[in-house]
Amino acid sequence: MTKKISLFLFTCLSSYGIAAAQLSDPNATKETKNLYLNLQHIHGEAVFFGHQDDMAYGVGWKYEDGRSDVRELTGEYPAVLGWDVSGLERDHSYNLDGVPFDKMREFIKTAYDLGAINTLSWHMDNPLNGKTAWDTTSTVTVKAMLPNGAVHEKYMAWLQRFAAYVQSLKGSDGKLIPILFRPFHEHTGSWFWWGKKECRAEEYQALWKFTVHYLRDVQQVHNLLYVFNPSDFKNEAEYLERYPGNNYVDVLSFDIYQYGKVSAGAAFRTDLQNKLAIQRRIATRNHKITAIAEMGYVEIPDSKWWSDVVWKAIANNKPVYILVWRNAGYRTQEKDNHYYAPYKGHISAPDFLDMQNKKQFIFQKGAKSRRLYSNPVK
């Protein structure tokens, strides 16, 4: 880049208060860049509400056109729609939770057309031994995926499938749909083969960098923003232990769940508050956006969870979005009681609607009105 152009970019970005904003992909599509700049712009002001698999199924229903537990309760889809591409690596036609990839493509398009945001995670199978993402029997998988490793070629073939899928995501306007991509998530835990005890920090970083490089420079995928995503951490050092660097990450996030009794809410709130403060400090220093990429309390047995626990924890350090996990099970053949978003009639529904009325959580209509894919408005 010439000095003149970089000075111009710097000046433009500075006018949004983003002195050192640098996308992982300098050749990202216009819509992807706009999404990033708009999110930077509203960071700390609006909290977009997100939900995994929202349009695919909910409590007591599956694949019924136009349905969404969140919309049936609030009158709007979530502002952020989460999807998982596990299964794509093996060329399956549906993901690990049974969502067909062609339907997912349609859902992603619907969300984009409505002005909402899409994010993808990937519970990737272990390419070395063929087991699932939850395999923790091997400590050499990540190393084997790197250049010269035993399954490096295989991993590239998997990334090619992912690249082809992401490049097939287009809106009604014919544009590539920007995606917040969250690979190798919850890496500070030890329940996936890319976890803390399953690979070394340098290997994790090398895998992340290779993934970005291969998708961006070799496969020429230019509609991705990259989301970094530890789970537990107690301080900045722990958060950053496996950080691959500012040039490979666009959004800082973490995952967090409340477990057990309603009375555990106060401790959870403090923990969430502390984590957000740590994340925000790192983000400010590095000019990144913050999010809670996954959160939840299964079945939400606390009728005031949204206002009393979540909102009180996030109000002072607002992440740009929070996403609750999928509404599966319950009156279905699947696992019982596996839902995280409230539905019509749920005990936390009035509290959730209150969050919507007070504009503490922003849903699809609020996302649409902010025209996230257009030039940022000064």
Q: Contact residues for ligand BMA (CB under 6 A)?
A: 84, 96-97, 123, 325-326
Kind and range of the H or E element at 296? strand 289-297
* Residue 282, CA distances (Å) to 211, 235, 304, 315, 373 in order: 23, 10, 30, 18, 26
Q: Active-site positions? A: 186, 294
User: Which lies closer to ligand BMA via its Cβ, residue 220 or residue 337?
Assistant: 337
Contacts of 22 (CB under 8 A, 6+ apart): 246, 247, 287
Q: Which is nearer to ligand BMA, 52 or 356 (CB)?
A: 52
User: Based on CB atoms, which residue is closest to ligand BMA, 152 or 338?
Assistant: 338
| Distance of closest approach, residue 162 Cβ to ligand BMA, in angstroms | 16
- Cβ of residue 121: shortest distance to ligand BMA, in angstroms? 8
Least distance in angstroms from the C-beta of 213 to ligand BMA: 27
- CB of 107 or CB of 243, closer to ligand BMA: 107
Q: What is 35-47 written as a DSSP string? A: HHHHHHHHTTT--
Degrees, nearest 5: CA angle 289-294-300: 130
Residue type, 91: D
Per DSSP, 24 falls in state S
DSSP string over 148-199? TSTTHHHHHHHHHHHHHHHTT-B-TTSPBPPEEEE-S-STTSSSSTTSTTTS
Nearer to ligand BMA, 84 or 89 (CB): 84
Residues paired with 227 in a beta bridge? 251
Name the residue among 154, 55, 159 with its Cα closest to residue 107.
55
Q: Measured from the CB of residue 252, what is the shortest distance to ligand BMA in angstroms?
A: 21
DSSP letters of 246-257?
GGG-SEEEEEEE
Nearest by Cα to 296 from 251, 231, 245: 231
CB of 96 to ligand BMA, least distance (A): 5
